[in-house]
Amino acid sequence: PFEVELSRTGVTVPVGADETVLGVLRARGITVPFSCENGYCGTCEAVVLDGEPDHRDTYLTDDEKAEGFTTMICVSRCVGPRLVLDL
Ligand code: FES
């Protein structure tokens, strides 16, 4: 489990082991673009402001994953306890 902070509103939401960031946001009525929900289309890409993403997608290149500037919130998670997204 980890927390995601949405920088534009300051809202912090917990993401459980059996949840996704996208799913948690949608359940709270937060509108974010998405399509495949399986980590390959790139639609749900979010900018990472702080924290280290645990990439689970097949969209970003290895270099992009190493940089960690963006993350696919439908599948990817967080290495540490907290991820801050530009959402
Ligand atoms: Fe397609 Fe997340 S919705 S990569």
* Confidence at residue 57, expressed as pLDDT on a 0 to 100 scale: 98
The alpha carbon of 33 and the centre of ligand 1 are apart by a number of angstroms equal to 9
Per-residue pLDDT of 2-41, as tens digits, reads: 999 999 999 999 999 999 999 999 999 999 999 999 999 9
Contact 18, 77 (CB under 8 A): no
CA separation for the pair 53, 49 (Å, rounded): 10
Pocket lining: 72 vs ligand 1, CB cutoff 6 Å: yes
Pocket lining: 32 vs ligand 1, CB cutoff 6 Å: no
Ligand 1 atom closest to residue 36's alpha carbon, by position in its atom list: 1
